[in-house]
Amino acid sequence: MGLTVIDMSTISPTVTRTLATKLAERGIAMLDAPVSGGEKGAIAGTLSIMVGGNEATFKRCLPILQALGTTIVHVGRNGAGQVVKACNQIVVALILEAVSEALVLGAKAGVEPAKSCKRLVEAMLAAGSWRYVVHQ
């Protein structure tokens, strides 16, 4: 069975692959498993975990990951977890940018900002527009 390192930080995929190679030279397996879900998800054990590494190692470590998260996806070789996390962050950033632009548009179109922001957010939540961001 041997030792396994599960790195749950968000770091460079290149660094991850280098670490995995150096660990493998010593007979140690590695999974890169960055998370999404924030402090609330960590406390509740509902993190989303994107895992890169050997599939057999992933399956062996799955019970450990299940103690921390509810959405756990093996996405490929070492470094793939980091790449998927970066892709996730791009999507979140673009959604936040779009929401900001929508709020500015509402205000510039003459809707009272103090009311428009609250009502626009309520309307977008009701329509499901922020479903993804709210869960982050």
Which class is 4-86 in CATH? alpha beta
Q: Return the DSSP state at 5.
A: E
pLDDT digit string, tens, across residues 96-134:
888 788 778 888 888 776 666 676 667 666 665 555 555
C-alpha span between 46 and 37 (Å, rounded): 7
Count of CB atoms situated within 10 Å of the CB of 47: 22
pTM here is 0.77
Q: Which residue among the candidates 22, 40, 59, 85 is catalytic per the annotation?
A: 85
Spell out the per-residue pLDDT of the chain, length 136, in tens.
Answer: 689 999 999 999 999 999 999 999 999 999 999 999 888 889 999 999 999 999 999 999 999 999 999 999 999 999 999 999 999 889 888 888 887 887 788 888 887 766 666 766 676 666 655 555 554 4
Q: Is 22 a catalytic site residue? A: no
- Annotated domain spans of the chain: 4-86, 89-131
Phi first, then psi, for residue 48 (nearest 5°) are -95, 130
